[in-house]
Amino acid sequence: MTAKSAAAAARATVYGYPRQGQNRELKKAVEGYWKGRVTADALRETTAELRRSNWRQLADAGVHEVPTGDFSYYDHVLDTTVMVGAVPDRHRAAVDADALDGYFAMARGTQEVAPLEMTKWFDTNYHYLVPELGPDTVFTADSNKQVVELKEVLAQGLTGRPVLVGPVTYLLLAKPAPGVPADFEPLTLLDRLLPVYAEVLADLRAAGAEWVQVDEPALVQDRTPADLNASERAYRELGALTDRPKLLVASYFARLGDALPVLAKAPVEGLALDFTEAAAANLDALAAVGGLPGKRLVAGVVNGRNIWISDLQKSLSTLGTLLGLADRVDVAASCSLLHVPLDTAAERDIDPQVLRWLAFAKQKTTEIVTLAKGLAQGTDAITAELAANRADLASRAASPITRDPAVRARAEAVTDANARRSQPYAERSAAQRAHLRLPLLPTTTIGSFPQTTELRTARADLRAGRSDTTGYEERIKTEIQEVVSFQEKTGIDVLVHGEPERNDMVQYFAEQLTGYLATQNGWVQSYGTRYVRPPILAGDISRPEPMTVRWTSYAQSLSDRPVKGMLTGPVTMLAWSFVRDDQPLGDTARQVALALRDEVNDLEAAGTSVIQVDEPALRETLPLRTADRAAYLTWATEAFRLTTAGVRPDTQIHTHMCYAEFGDIVQAIDDLDADVISLEAARSHMQVARELAAHGYPREAGPGVYDIHSPRVPSAEEAAELLRTGLKAIPAERLWVNPDCGLKTRAWPETRASLENLVAAARAVRGEL
Ligand code: GLN
Ligand code: ZN
């Protein structure tokens, strides 16, 4: 291999593309089908058209090999479950009766059967449906969807590369099926699964595939020697097949680490690696194994999961280093473009100058093509593109949006003491007891109360100019009155105002902070037909004026009981936004923390004695590799403390977390130094209470006794039983009584009944103390 021939062969490609279409046609078609308004044929026709137009766009932009099979009605991991025939027993009848309805039954459940569990796809905000496997699982190949989509692309006269979730990743993402012992390891099914992949590969070759991309993102996580052995075996066996397309094994989201030598030696024709954040580590590892002689290397140099334009010059230099390490070097985004919105051209509210700093899927595709051209033909071929890119980068770097001297000076002046409460917990706790005079086992909720249709309509009317601010605010006040009076009547000890004014716990604050951008059409798939528009942390963050004080104060004016102030913490603000790529995350977190700190202090000055700073995302942003976690937790916990440490000792700081096992972050929870933490615990029977106790957690905690994810009303006796379980781990002086999470997705009737039972449970158990 020579660097020159590797360069000359360079082409542009992508691993996957947003599925929804320009106007979220996919969502409309699928939801229409569920409601019976769209026929199965119409759904197929609409989605086939979406694929056609995506491929056409990619090809017109200059992408040489377009991905196929990455499209999905709901989720690509569920598609893989269908492909390997691993339909759970409880869904078998539905799938046999009608493949499409059975597919949606697995995704969403029916009256009779529960859906597959949903969880986050690595450290992204995309959720997949978790395969359920057991020792009796029988795999059978169903390559139909893959073959159909490949034929579609070929019929368009284009080159398609089918994309599969790899066998190792598929098994590592699976969990033991219901009734199967929890220690069952799905990876032990590898030998049974490989023949199914062999069959699918043969079918794809027969249908005309030259290459197939096999995604193995699970290999960028810490893996055991057994996992690596399994990977070695998987690709040795698939590689040895005679009747197969060429294999491109793709990794993304982080460095390959120990899996790199395994894949480099495997008898496959290509590897795809992440050269954005993982660039240095992957480059070193690649050099250490002597490159990939005889193989194709696909270099993910354009960030596939953030929305900033690339530094083309820098990407070219990374690509230049890679030449000579493989036979052919192709250019791609670091991962599927599924994780970014479709097209910046759909944004009309963003300043055109600022819009030029942003690249969504379409713009990223253009960057990839430009880089491939630059690599193949030399930089002279892309002089104009490089000049425009330099100008846009310079405009971003020099903009007052990204450099606010006041914000920077303040962040630099932060000292350790700023992030530490003025007194240790024991003294604060005594001061808070004296100040708040709460009963043992105090009751509270997590913040939101039901977000009724009327509230959503009122907000939509205000946005559309159909109603004025005064009318809207009156509506919010009425809602707060109802929420406060219900809580008083029910006997809840620490009240909330119910968050009726908030559309979303991140967006609400993002809209009020300077330095944040909102998009009009920046939809990204969260799961199934649910799409979110993450706000963009674009510049230096500051808070022009208080954001929540008037609503909290209004609620407090209605009651003698303490009303909790309610804020979203800095880590969660980052986790559910697109973040800056021009400074360390910790710096952005610190700016957000300082803005929130002002809000906390203003709430206190306005008479709020209890302030909750929610950090549900603390656990989910944990880096994929263990070695990277300590650094993350250091800045994350510091940002939380910086937010909360400015208050008096007798002001009680709460935090809240959900969606997680907490076992591996108990130390971080401790490091937050919050006075009270509420956590999701009802489904795990207070598991987290035992984890906190085992750690010696010294502060107050409220493991949830009401699972808010279902309309089911827990009985008072059931909640009391959970409390008694909690008391075995946490003493009564430090145990709170609360639901698992906010109530915004619940309806009023079950909310009322459940909270009445929760208060009854607290009273009953107090009586037993
Ligand atoms: N305070 C928020 C609420 O109650 C917390 C939501 C969350 O943890 N996701 O809605
Ligand atoms: Zn929650």
8-state DSSP, 410 = H
Which residues are within 8 A (CB) of 750 and not within 5 positions of it... i.e. 6 or more apart?
711, 712, 713
Q: Residue 2 has what pLDDT? A: 75
Residue 660 pLDDT > 90: no
Ligand nearest to the CA of 450: 1
Confirm or reject: Cβ of 567 under 6 Å from ligand 1: no
3-state SS assignment for residue 123: coil
Q: Residue 6 has what pLDDT? A: 79
Average pLDDT score over residue span 611-629 = 94
Confirm or reject: Cβ of 446 under 6 Å from ligand 1: yes
| pLDDT cut 70: percent of the chain above it | 100
Q: Confidence class of residue 220 from pLDDT cuts 50, 70 and 90? A: very high
Average pLDDT score over residue span 683-690 = 92
Q: Residue 768 has what pLDDT? A: 97
8-state DSSP, 735 = B
Q: What is the ipTM of this complex?
A: 0.99
Confirm or reject: Cβ of 656 under 6 Å from ligand 1: yes
pLDDT digits (tens, 9 = 90+) for 460-497: 999 899 999 999 999 999 999 999 999 999 999 999 99
Q: Where are the alpha helices (DSSP H) in 378-525?
A: 383-398, 405-412, 425-436, 453-463, 469-490, 507-510
Average pLDDT score over residue span 134-151 = 98
Residue 508 pLDDT > 90: yes
Q: Is 497 a catalytic residue?
A: no
Q: Residue 9 has what pLDDT? A: 85
Q: In the chain, what is the greatest distance between 2 CA atoms, to the nearest angstrom?
A: 82
Q: Confidence class of residue 1 from pLDDT cuts 50, 70 and 90? A: low
Ligand nearest to the CA of 548: 1
Q: Residue 711 has what pLDDT? A: 87
- 695-698: Cβ within 8 A, 24+ apart: 695/666, 695/667, 695/670, 697/666, 697/669, 697/670, 698/425, 698/670
Q: Residue 8 has what pLDDT? A: 82
pTM, to two decimals: 0.96
Q: Which of 483, 499, 745 is the best mutation target for the ligand 1 pocket, counting ligand atoms within 8 Å of the beta carbon and taking the most?
A: 499
Q: Confidence class of residue 662 from pLDDT cuts 50, 70 and 90? A: confident
Average pLDDT score over residue span 529-554 = 97
Atom 9 in ligand 1: which residue has the minimum CA distance?
616
Q: Residue 610 has what pLDDT? A: 98
Average pLDDT score over residue span 559-577 = 98
Atom of ligand 1 nearest to the CA of 658: 8
Torsion on CA atoms 204, 205, 208, 213, rounded to nearest 10: 60
With beta carbons less than 8 A apart as the criterion, state whether 367 and 359 touch: yes
246 is in an annotated binding site: no
Confirm or reject: Cβ of 447 under 6 Å from ligand 1: yes
Q: Confidence class of residue 683 from pLDDT cuts 50, 70 and 90? A: confident
| pLDDT cut 90: percent of the chain above it | 95
pLDDT digits (tens, 9 = 90+) for 712-747: 999 999 999 999 999 999 999 999 999 999 999 999
Q: What phi and psi values does residue 140 have, to the nearest 5 degrees?
A: -140, 145
Average pLDDT score over residue span 137-156 = 98
pLDDT digits (tens, 9 = 90+) for 90-131: 999 999 999 999 999 999 998 888 899 999 999 999 999 999
Q: For residue 405, with 0-12 CB atoms within 10 Å meaning exposed, 13-18 middle and 19 or more buried, which class applies? A: exposed
Q: How far is CA 327 from CA 18, 255, 492, 517, in A?
A: 30, 21, 68, 42
Q: Residue 267 has what pLDDT? A: 98
Q: How far is the CA of 450 from the centre of ligand 1 (A)?
A: 12
